[in-house]
Amino acid sequence: MEKLKIEIEDVLTKKNAENKVYWILRSKGEGYFVWDKKLLEGIEIGDTVTIIYVPGKFPKVTEIIAEGGSKPQPTDETESEVETVSKQQSIHRSVALQAAVEFQKSDPKRDPKTVVSTAETFYNFLENDEDPKE
């Protein structure tokens, strides 16, 4: 992680392919990506802040410290739950596809084009199956 003092020139709001909202802090032609809205609380265009970020093609901001030294708190539990659901769906998709491929291998005469429809069937089962704890 790296630390950098910047003056915020602009804050752009964007959505990724999965409709998850993120923000880009612009400073001196550079963009720093913020995925946690709570980090932006109390921050305005023109403010000078210190950011802690993970460098790379899309530098991810993990912490913003205002000139006064204050910093917003991390996300609340509701936002974490949303990310967990998304991760769980991703795991289900992966498991469903793996199961469909293995199912295809069990009968080489089966049309390979059915792998996707079989994976969708497995995925729907995983997503709609009731939790045994309830």
> Could you tell me if 48 and 32 are in contact, meaning their C-beta atoms sit under 8 angstroms apart?
no
Same domain, 87 and 59: no
Q: Is 133 a domain residue?
A: no
Same domain, 13 and 47: yes
User: What does the angle CA 40 – CA 46 – CA 51 come to, to the nearest 5 degrees?
Assistant: 45
Same domain, 59 and 10: yes
**CATH code where residue 42 lies:** 2.40.50.140
Count of structural domains within the chain: 2
Instruction: Report the relative pairing of strands 30-34 and 60-66 from DSSP bridges.
Output: parallel
Question: Which structure tokens are listed for 50?
Answer: 């210190």
Boundaries of domain holding 84: 77-128
> Could you tell me if 92 and 123 are in contact, meaning their C-beta atoms sit under 8 angstroms apart?
yes
Q: What is the pLDDT of residue 129?
A: 55
Same domain, 53 and 11: yes
- Per-residue pLDDT of the chain in tens (134 residues, 90 and over written 9): 899 999 999 999 998 888 899 999 999 989 999 999 899 988 888 899 999 999 889 899 999 998 765 444 454 444 444 444 556 667 777 777 788 788 777 777 777 777 778 878 877 777 775 444 44
Same domain, 38 and 18: yes
Domain termination site, one of 42, 66, 90: 66
Q: Is 101 a domain residue?
A: yes
